Each structure stands twice: as structure tokens, then as C-alpha cells.
Amino acid sequence: MSVPRDDGFVHLADYTPPAWRILHAELAFELDPDDTQVSARLQLEPDPAQPGQVLVLDGVDLELVDIRLDGRALSPADYAYDGRHLRLPGPRQPCVLETRVRIRPAANTRLEGLYRSGALLLTQCEAQGFRRITFFADRPDVMPRWRIVLRAPKAAYPVLLANGNPAGTRDLDDGRHEAAWDNPHPTPAYLFAIAAGPLERVSTALDTAEGRRVELNVWAEAADVARCAYALGAVERSLRWDEQRFGRCYDLDVFNVVAAQDFTMGAMENKGLNIFNARYILADEATATDADFLAIESVVAHEYLHNWSGNRVTLRDWFQLSLKEGLTVFRDSEFSADLHSRALKRIEAVRLLRGRQFAEDAGALAHAVRPDRYREISNFYTLTIYEKGAEIVRLLHTLLGETAFRAGMDRYFADNDGRAATLEDFLAAHAAASGRDLSQFMRWYTQGGTPELRIHADFSGGDYRLVVEQHTPPTPGQDTKAPLLIPLRLALHDAQGRAITAAPRTDARLRDDGVELLAARHELVWSGLPAPPLAAFNQGFAAPVKLHFDYSADELARLARLERDPFNRWDLVQRLATGALLGGLDPAAAESALSDALADLLDDDAADPAFVTECLALPDFDTLAEAVDEVDVDALVARREDLVMRLTENLAAPLSTRYAALAGVAAGGLDGPAMAARALRNACLAWLTRLDPTAAQAQAQFDRAANMTARLAALRCLVHFDAPGAEAALESFRVAHRDDPLVTDKWIAVVATRPHPETRDAVAALMDSPWWKPANPNRVRAVLGSFARSNPLGFHRRDGAGYQLVAGQVRALDTVNPQVAARLLGAFESWRKLAGPARAQAGAALSALRGKLASPDSRDLLARLLDT
């Protein structure tokens, strides 16, 4: 399955089931940061349908110490190892293979396989890290049951964790000790994990709905354990929610979560032993913002929810990645929506989709949610797999309704429990449970690119006619696309603002809330109307498409007033702003409608302040850049800034009023109203600071802040608006948090995103300072990720020095952590859309990397960026 063809790609079409199965895996670790020995005892069995195949195991850069087949030591003539694969031509029958290898965790900066982070030893195996630990069939459809034994010096490694249930501990000689773990569930190697070290915990216990007593633990190093309580609560809420909403119970006696300072991604759902980037665990009000708390809860939920969507039902092959990731993002977003505000959660998701996933779908790295080939799977942990994948599950939910969707999910879990499944299995379960044919729906997974709907209206003789055309633009490797099944919600309003409830005549399929589009073109006709109605489409952004319809600024403003659903109101305000900035609407009319809408919201004491905050946050640079054909960075940033400046001048009074009035509520704790009040106050502060060169309000908020949310927002205002107190504030923040890497990352990101071309040099200076830690992915993201992704004026600086800086660092980081380097290279995904000189400079910076990159990860990305 993972054997590349001559073209260097692994192809979906080449999938074959494993020729050898692994029924049971027994692993013993002698842990040491410089020299760990791993003994493996694998019970193997050939697939009866494929007899006579050579036994081939994955194993990357392992030092083989000992190898035995059915107890007999093998001689070098019995096997071949080339540093990547171990070939054993001998065995034909079920057998037991025992190997012993040596690995070096402390030298492992890739953070894949077994590595050291601070005083801890940890693993990260997804997608293909397990082969760096021992010889194994490292593919998700090989799912043994496991026994894991860990041995280590007790003083340095007092806690020894692995997947599954604890199966006993004992002291050994020489101050060492041992812990055994049993994982009774069939589990692929990518979900293997161990964690060892001076860990401390917060803990609770509960009984599942099935009556199983479960111990929940969140572990961290001693200095951090006081900041684990919130994450523990989030674990408990996630477990309860999956019981209630999906009827899924936890299935082991213990659920462990470990926080690590060095971690490439967000977190990892290893069976019974989730390992997290510390930034998604550690929080208290003095060091974490409200946004951090919400992100922690949502990532904790994401990883916990994988226990069913990913672990109990796993993947047949890596092409099915979205089967677990898209589905689990859908599940975690429903969790957040059920616990907090559904509308706000939807706004957050749609922002991410429009700002980032649409750009990915339109750029050099575009791919289908289920690609049909890849060179390097670690480059496919993308917004398309995760966020668009979640949108497709949401579409299915919209199409079927909650009851049929839940029945389909139950069927999916029942039919595929303990198995390695495909996206076809997922849709087959939903088709069977609902009786619907979902074959056309499958195209959402196989076709890349964002679908576009163009809707034309015309009114004559009492007939209102809508022509709806769909089109998906070409993406790399896919020139033409077939029509998708799209549920399109729509509503018509008459001149008095009343809903027109009559159904249209149409060749599309009617739904209660609109139509289902099946073909490239459909018509909808309403007859006998006295006047042209006002139409609204795609409420709730139910379909993840770009929709084009000619509205006037007046019509948008009218719709915004008619609309009761907060998400839709937000969306209309965004459209007004986009129209004002990018044309398409009469700019003066759009701007005054926008200003009025924002003034109304600021005056409306009944409106949720969190919602008002979202409306004040105009479309960001990424969203605007995505919506135009050619990007002139400086002009776009300037136009947006000018609009915000004029709006601020109009709205100064209500902004000041709201800022002052919310002070009391904002001083509260972590409850929803207090968080919402802080969000709106911080938004008001950012707008108002534009009008005050002394930034007195921001300075006062910084000096008096009682929590990180208020302090960091004030610091950002001071630094980004070049306030006189900026340097002193930065210095005091720096000193106060110098021993906390996560808070240090916060001021670094503030510095790296200061909207000015000179920031490029400030970033270069940071990399010459003791703050630069290239082996720590969070630090690399704070310095370079935030610069390349969130500082258009710096990254796209006119002389090309921003591109050169980032490209040069990709080259350096590639030898430290290839996944981090490749991700950073992704900041160039839309380079071909840049106007004139910028495009040439970005292209030159990329071309200069040709032949200079060490890892397959970065090489694959560079080849796709340059279309070679």
C-alpha cells in the first residue's frame, strides 16, 4: 500500500490488503535518552488469500541488535535490512518474530518516533513514526492487540505510561523499575504511545453510562501541573457529551493525557494515552487568554472524540485520513456548539474556511479531501482534510437531518468497530440507514477546489426566476469537475419583509428549507408575485461554496435587518464590508450601510457582546486576498486600514461607551458573559487606539490588567500602533514571563506581527537572540509562522527580504524538523496570485531552494509550489 510507483507517488488505486497480519505485539523498552533498547515479539500470520508473499516490515534508521524467528537466531543470510525495510524471505506460515533494536531519543529533533522533551521521553507515531521505534508493518490496517513493558531508572522516570490498561508495576535492581500495560483493543501502530518521566497529575474518576469505572488523569511536569485543572474538566465534559449526543462510551479503565513542551502539531489521540502540545493543556487566568481556554477545550474534545472516530474505527489507508479528521472536527465543533454558542462556533469555522481553506483549495497545494496520490503523507494534514472534511460531514447532516444522521452514525460504528474503514464505508452506512443514494455525494471527497454558485435573478410578468449554475474550478491534476449534490438553503422576502412560503417550480429537488442541486444548472420559478422579492441564500453557510449574486448595498442592509439568525446577520455584515473594500457594491453606499449596522449593534445592549465583536472584526487580509484574482498586498492592507480608520472616526462615541460600560462584567472569571465582555472591550480598544497616538487607554489597561486576556490585548495595541510605552510594556511582559515558554511565545508573536515592513528585521534579530529555539515547534511558529502567515506587510515586503528570510529558514529547519519546515513553506501557497514584482520575488526565493532541501516533506511541497 505505501509502496511508491516509479513516479514517486503512492497511489490510492494500488491499495492491497496486508500480505501478513500481526495478531499480537509485545514490546519491551529499556528507556534511556541516549540509548534505548526496544525488544519486540510479533505474532505474524500470512493472509490466506495472498500466500507465499515475502515478509516485509518497515523500520527506519534502526540499529538491529538481535533477530529471531520462532526462537531461532537468524544469520545475516536470512534477512536483508537497507535502513528502511526489513525483508525476510523465509517464513511462509504463522510465526513469531523477535527483534531487538537500539534508538537514540535525545538526538531525535524530528519529534517523530521516540524523543526527549525536557525531562520526558515521549512518542509521536502518526502517521509513520512507529517505524522509527521498531520493525513493524507500519500501516493503519494492521491492528494487533498489545502488551507494552517499560523499564527505566525510577529516580529520573518515576512515571511510566503506555496505551491501554495498567497491568502491574515492580521494582527492579539498580534503582530501576518496570510498568506493564495491556491494550486489548485492536490498534494500529500510529496510535501507539509511551510517556515516561517526572510527571505529576490532576485526576478524577467517573462511571460511564455503561457502568465502567474510569480514572481520568492529566499529567505534566511538576512546575506545570497546577495549570492542568481546566483541561481535566474538558476531558470529563467530552466524555459525557459523546455518551449523550452519539451514545459512545469510553472503553478502558484509565484515560491519560500528557502535556509536552516540544510537539510538532496540536495533540495526538493515541489509544488511552493522548499526548498534547502543552499549549493545548496548560492554562490559568494569569497566563492564558480566553481564546486559549476555548482552544484547549476544543482540542481536548477533538482528541477524546477520536477514541471512536479514528481509534475504534480506524483507517484502511492514509488516503482515508479525513474519515477520522473531518468527522472528528465535525464532532468537536458540535461539542463546542452544544456547550457554548452555536452561532459563534459557526462564525469561527466559516472564518477559517474562507480565510485559509479556500486559499488552500485555490492555490498550488490544492488537493481533494480524498487525494488519489501523495508523495509524503505528512503534508496532507491540511485545512482541506480537516476543515473542508468537517464541512462535508456537516453537509451530510444537513441533507439527512439529525435523526437519520444519528442512525447512520450508529450504523457506521456498529458495522466498522474494530476495523480499518474507508470513506465508502462511511457513506454506505449513511445510505443504508437513510435509504438515500449517496453516490453523487461522494464527489465532495474526490474532487478538489471550492465549488462556486452563480445565481441570476429576473422578474417579469409576476414570475420571479432564479437560474443557479454551479462550477468547480480546476485544481492540480483535476482539470474538469462533475456537478456536486448541494443542499442550497434559500428564503424569499416580500416588500414588507414577510417570508414567501410558496414552493417554486423547479427541476431541482425541493427541500423544506430550499433545494438540492444535482446538475450544473437549475431553474426555480415563483409565479404570481406582485413585486420582485428579496432573496437570501445559503443560510448558516450550510454549503461550503462561494456564492455570487448581485445585491445592492441597500438590499444587503435590508436583509441584515430582517435576519434573526446571528450567524446570517454576521455574514451579511461581512458581505457589506467585502463589497465596500473590493468593489461589487457602490462603495459609499456599502460603507455607510456598514457603519450604520455596526452603530446599531454597538448601541444594542441586548446583543451578545461576543457577537458584536465578531461583527466588528471585518474580513481579514487572508479572506480579502482570497476573494480577488490578483493580490497587491500593500494596496489591500491600506484599503482595509483606511476603511477601519473611517469607521472608527464615525463610531468613536459608541466604541468608548461600550468599552467603559463593560468594565465591570469583564472583570469576572471564565463565565461566558465575562469572556464576551472582554472580547468586545478588546475589540473597542483596538479600534480606539487608532485615534489616540498616546494610546493612554491601552497603556492603562496594560498596567491594570487582572488577566492575560486583557493584558495581551493591550500589549498588542501598544506594540502594533507604535505607542510611546510599547518598548517598556514589552520589556516588563518579557521579564515577568521569561521562564514560561508558552507566554514567551505570546509576546514574540505580537512582535512578529507588528504591521510594518521593518518587522522583517525584528524577526531576523529574534533569530539571533537567545529566544530562538529552532528545535521547539511552538517557538518556530511564534517567530516565523506568525510572521509568514499573519504579517502581510512584513512577509511581502517590497524588496523580497521577507520571502528570503522565510525560505532561508525553511532550509535550515528542514534538517531539524522536516514537518515544521514543510508547514512553513506552505506560507507560499498563493504566491502565483501576487501582483507583479512580489510574484517574481517569491518565485525567486522558492526557486533558490531547488536542490537544497534535505527532506522528502519539504521537497514534495517545493515541487508542488513550483509545479514541477
Closest to 252 measured CA to CA, from 304, 194, 317: 304
CA-nearest of 566, 519, 515 to 540 is 566
User: How much is the CA Rg of the chain, to the nearest whole Å?
Assistant: 28
- Say if strands 534-537 and 420-421 run parallel, antiparallel, or are unpaired: unpaired
Give 253's Cβ-side CA count (13 Å radius). Answer: 8
Nearer to Zn ion, 79 or 445 (CB): 445
In 3D space, the residue among 101, 123, 103 whose CA is nearest the CA of residue 114 turns out to be 123
Distance CA 64, CA 86 (A): 10
Q: Which of residues 302-361 bind Zn ion (CB under 5 A)?
A: 325, 328
Smallest distance from ligand TRP to CB 90, Å = 34
What is the residue whose three cell numbers read 488552500?
A: 360
Nearest to Zn ion of 385, 807 (CB atom): 385
Q: Is 268 in the site for ligand TRP (CB under 6 A)?
A: yes
Query: Considering the rule CB under 6 A, would residue 361 count as an interface residue with ligand TRP?
Result: no
Q: How does DSSP classify residue 835?
A: -
Min. distance of Cβ 125 from Zn ion in angstroms? 14
Q: Which of 22, 27, 127, 684 binds ligand TRP (CB under 6 A)?
A: 127
* Closest CB to ligand TRP: residue number: 265
315 touches 140 (CB < 8 A) = yes
Tell whether residue 265 is a contact of ligand TRP (CB under 6 A): yes
Please give the Cα distance from 825 to 363 (Å, whole number).
13
Q: Is 303 in the site for ligand TRP (CB under 6 A)?
A: yes
DSSP letter for 662, please.
T
- State whether residue 572 is helix, strand or coil: helix
Contact 584, 552 (CB under 8 A): no
All residues at 6 or more sequence positions from 689 whose CB lies less than 8 Å from its CB, including other chains: 695, 697, 698, 717, 721, 723
Half-sphere exposure of 278 (CA within 13 A, CB side): 28
Active-site hit among 26, 112, 126, 303: 303
Which C-beta is closer to ligand TRP: that of 124 or that of 578? 124
Selected range binding ligand TRP among 121-129, 496-504, 596-604, 658-666, rule: CB under 6 A: 121-129
Compare residues 297 and 303 and give the one whose CB is closer to ligand TRP. 303
CB atoms within 10 A of CB 501: 7
Residue among 97 and 369 whose Cβ is closer to ligand TRP: 369
Nearer to ligand TRP by Cβ, of 389 and 843: the residue is 389
Which range binds ligand TRP by CB under 6 A, 261-269, 484-492, 511-519, 806-814? 261-269
In the list Zn ion, ligand TRP, none, the entry touching 689 (Cβ below 5 to 8 angstroms by class) is none
Q: At what angle do helices 633-661 and 672-689 cross, to 10 degrees?
A: 120
Which residue in 798, 818, 801 sits closest to 810, CA to CA?
818
DSSP 248-316: ----SSEEEEEEESS-SSSEE--TTEEEEEGGGT---TTT--HHHHHHHHHHHHHHHHTTTBTTTBEES
Binding-site partner at residue 381 among Zn ion, ligand TRP, none, CB < 5 to 8 Å by type: ligand TRP
Q: Least CB distance from residue 267 to ligand TRP, whole Å? A: 6
The yes or no reply on residue 857 touching ligand TRP (CB under 6 A) is no
Nearest Cα residue to 274 out of 194, 204, 374: 194
Residue 127 interacts, among Zn ion, ligand TRP, none and using kind-specific CB cut-offs from 5 to 8 Å, with ligand TRP
- How long a stretch of residues is the chain? 868
262: contact with ligand TRP by CB under 6 A: no
- Binding segment for ligand TRP (CB under 6 A), chosen from 130-138, 263-271, 535-543, 589-597, is 263-271
Query: Which window, 120-128, 535-543, 614-622, 748-756, contacts ligand TRP (CB under 6 A)?
Result: 120-128
Active site residue 641: no
Q: What's the closest the beta carbon of residue 562 comes to Zn ion, in angstroms?
A: 39
**Residue 302 binding ligand TRP, by CB under 6 A:** yes
Among 32, 251, 262, 269, which residue interacts with ligand TRP (rule: CB under 6 A)? 269
Among the residue ranges 228-236, 264-272, 481-489, 681-689, the one whose residues contact ligand TRP (CB under 6 A):
264-272
What is the strand order of the sheet 463-471 is part of? 505-506, 521-526, 463-471, 452-460, 546-548
> What's the closest the beta carbon of residue 121 comes to Zn ion, in angstroms?
23
274 binding partner (options ligand TRP, Zn ion, none; Cβ < 5 to 8 Å by kind): none
Where helices occur in 528-586 by DSSP H, the ranges are: 553-562, 566-582
**Per CB under 6 A, which region of 143-151, 267-275, 720-728, 807-815 contacts ligand TRP?**
267-275
H or E segment to which residue 69 belongs:
strand 63-69
131 binds ligand TRP (CB under 6 A): no
**Which among Zn ion, ligand TRP, none contacts residue 268 (Cβ within 5 to 8 A by kind)?**
ligand TRP
Residues 374-413 that bind ligand TRP (CB under 6 A): 378, 381
Closest CA to 607 of 345, 352, 343, 349: 343
**DSSP sequence for 706-766:** SSHHHHHHHHHHHHHTT-TTHHHHHHHHHHHTTT-HHHHHHHHHHHHT-SSTTHHHHHHHH
CB of 137 to ligand TRP, least distance (A): 19
Binding string, residues 569-608; x marks residues near Zn ion by CB under 5 A: ----------------------------------------
Stretch that binds ligand TRP, among 265-273, 437-445, 476-484, 626-634 (CB under 6 A): 265-273
- Residue 378 interacts, among Zn ion, ligand TRP, none and using kind-specific CB cut-offs from 5 to 8 Å, with ligand TRP
Q: By CB under 6 A, tell whether 124 contacts ligand TRP.
A: yes
Q: How far is the CB of 390 from Zn ion (least distance, A)?
A: 10
Shorter beta-carbon distance to Zn ion: residue 311 or 682: 311
Residues 249-308 that bind Zn ion (CB under 5 A): none
Single-letter residue type at 703: D
Per-residue binding string, ligand TRP, 315-354, x by CB under 6 A, is: ----------x-----------------------------
Task: Using CB under 6 A, list all residues that contact ligand TRP.
Answer: 124, 126-127, 264-265, 267-269, 302-303, 325, 378, 381
> Catalytic residues, which ones?
303
List of residues contacting Zn ion (CB under 5 A) = 325, 328
